[in-house]
Structure 1
Amino acid sequence: MRQQYVFAAYIRNPETNPCPEAIEERRMKIYCELFYNNVEGFIANSFPVLRQIIPDKQWYAMIRDYFANHLSHAPLFPEMPREFVKYLEHERTMQPDDPPFILELAHYEWVELALSILDEHVEEEIIIPDSDFLDAIPVISPLAWPLNYHFPVHKISSDFQPCVPGAMQTHLIVYRDADFEVHFMEINSVTARLLQLISTNDHKSARILLQQIAVELNHVHPDIVIHGGMEVLDELRKRHVILGIYS
């Protein structure tokens, strides 16, 4: 067991840990390169935009730090991107040359992978898909995640890298369709609030939720909010973000 710990410690960080005595150093270096390259390549493929905008030297240093110091709690490869996001969020000390949106962009890119492999059962037997849900309880898909960011992460590229957060929060929905394709949709703050209410609601109708939003907005014509909200819900139902109503 001790030999295994020594072996693993050297692979993770050969600069600070001794080479196992029973193994030739030349062979251990081959192991080190194989393991590191495997992890680096997997992370790069999981976060293509982040990899594209971060210079090589900075990228390799960050992955080396992650590989050497992060203690993963999941042994499966599909969980590695989530572990990398945890590393960025809780362990990495922001460097002067880190983009300020690094964590939000990484989270945004991770979501696509997470939803593509999510094993979530939709209880279709308790949902009526084609029905008027103004006076019924709307159901949001477990395969649809509302997201809020300070940076417009869906627009970031090698040509667009904002230095400061946007004046308004960026609201997105990421969802998976029946063909297992993952899509992103930008929404406004009112739609984001409506989805937030729906996701925590089990007894209020769409009408009541929209009336609540009209009160929060201090809108002088609640019927306008209700009408606009129903148009939004109809569009979201077409995209399978809203599944229907409880039967």
Structure 2
Amino acid sequence: MPPAKSPEMPEFMRRQYAFAAHIRDPEKNPPPEDVTDRRMAVYRELFFNNLEGFLANNFPVLRSLLEDQAWHYLVRDFYARHRAQTPLFHEISREFLLYLETERTTSGDPPFLGELAHYEWIELALSLSDLEPSGDIDPEGDLLEGLPVISPLAWPLRYRFPVHRISRDYQPIEPEAQPTFLVVYRDPHDQVAFMELNPVTARLLELISKEEVNSGRETLVQIAHELQHPNLEQIIGGGQQTLTGLRTRHILLGTRKS
């Protein structure tokens, strides 16, 4: 496609580009010459307010942390600079996340802004996901001797900041000494929930997610070796309880059938 100001572009397309550019960033792009500012103001407010409201609903914690001026500046900057790669409205939150990760350069943002936004986006993404487990699964299978299967609607996460605890009353400036491990999951009733994990349980889910050839026992033995734990049976006993608890929450679906 030729540039917006190219003489090769039809007049109606140049007008559309000019109209859209002004709507996105009215301070840098003049309105179309034959449209009154009163009419353009209706479009400016309608488009911006629609986008701002959608983002505020999908990033409620982030919105609550920022004063109105800072929040509106953030949304305006996203609106003006980012070029979305999808026409789907529910993908706007993902586009906003991409903007924060790759285009946002303001140094005054909270250091946890990107991770908090990702954590809030996960809830929407998981609620809309249509992923389903593959292969035959025995929901009552032996999680120690069989091959545990993690739900495709259970997403293990790792953050530098404790994003699940951030609020107006708790806004850390520095990451904690240890990473925050979470798993966000959707249950059979389509309710999205999260569970904070200790590092061992996080490693357990990581191995289960990557490996489809090791039994629960073999995975726990590997973890015991990694920890250089002197009591293997203690790790296996505790691990069995953990596996059972994860299945109760529908984070694990059961075991893979042969």
> TM-score, normalised on structure 2?
0.92
Map Cα deviations across residues 48-98 of structure 1 (whole Å, 9 max, x no partner).
Answer: 1110011111111111100000111121121111111111111001322x1
CA shift, 1:21, in A, is 2.8
Output the CA distance in 2 between the equivalents of 1:121 and 1:157.
33
Which of 160, 163, 168 does residue 178 from structure 2 map onto? 168
- 2:218 equivalent to 1:233: no
Measured in 2, the distance between the counterparts of 1:221 and 1:192 equals 20
Which residue of structure 2 aligns with residue 193 of structure 1? 203
Task: Determine the structure 1 residue equivalent to 2:71.
Answer: 59
Letter of the 1:14 counterpart: P
Aligned equivalents of 1:57, 1:227: Cα separation in 2: 54
Question: SS state of the match for residue 66, structure 1?
Answer: helix
Which residue does the alignment assign to 2:102?
Answer: 90
Q: In structure 1, what residue type is equivalent to 2:114?
A: L
Aligned counterparts of 1:78 and 1:200: Cα–Cα separation in 2: 29
1:11 counterpart (19, 23, 31): 23
Identity of aligned residues (%): 55
Count residues with an aligned counterpart.
245
Q: Over residues 226-247 of structure 1, what are the superposed CA-to-partner deviations in whole Å (9 max), with x where a residue is unaligned?
A: 1111110100000100001111
Q: Which amino acid aligns with 1:58?
A: A
2:253 maps to which of 226, 243, 246: 243
- In structure 2, list runs of 5 or more residues that go unmatched: 1-12
Question: Partner amino acid for 1:216?
Answer: E
Residue 28 of structure 1 aligns with an amino acid whose one-letter code is M
Matches within 5 A, 1:34-49: 34-49=46-61
Which among 69, 92, 113 is matched to residue 80 of structure 1? 92
The reply to whether residue 104 of structure 1 matches residue 115 of structure 2 is yes
Counterpart selection for 1:142 from 148, 152, 158: 152
Alignment partner, residue 6 of structure 2: none
Shift of 1:168: 0.8
Cα distance in structure 1, aligned partners of 2:132 and 2:17 = 40
Cross-structure match for 2:62: 50
Shift of 1:167: 1.2
Code of the residue aligned with 1:104 in structure 2: it is E
- Taking the aligned partners of 2:241 and 2:191, their CA distance within structure 1 comes to 24
Within the alignment, does 1:120 sit opposite 2:137 as a pair? no
Give the residue type in structure 1 aligned to 2:129. Answer: L
Could you list the per-position Cα deviations for residues 129-167 of structure 1 after superposition, in whole angstroms to 9, with x for gaps in the alignment?
Answer: 012121211100000000111111111111111111011
TM-score (norm 1): 0.96
Native 8 Å contact 2:185 2:251 kept in 1:
yes
Larger Rg: 2
Task: Compute the RMSD of aligned alpha carbons.
Answer: 1.1
Q: Which residue of 1 aligns with 2:226?
A: 216
Matched with 1:23 is 35
Q: Which amino acid aligns with 2:39?
A: R
**Does 1:207 pair with 2:214?**
no
What one-letter code is carried by the residue in structure 1 that aligns with 2:139? P
181, 184, 187: which one pairs with 2:191?
Answer: 181
- Aligned equivalents of 1:89, 1:139: Cα separation in 2: 31
Once residues 217 and 67 of structure 1 are traced to their aligned partners in structure 2, the CA distance between those partners, rounded to angstroms, is: 48
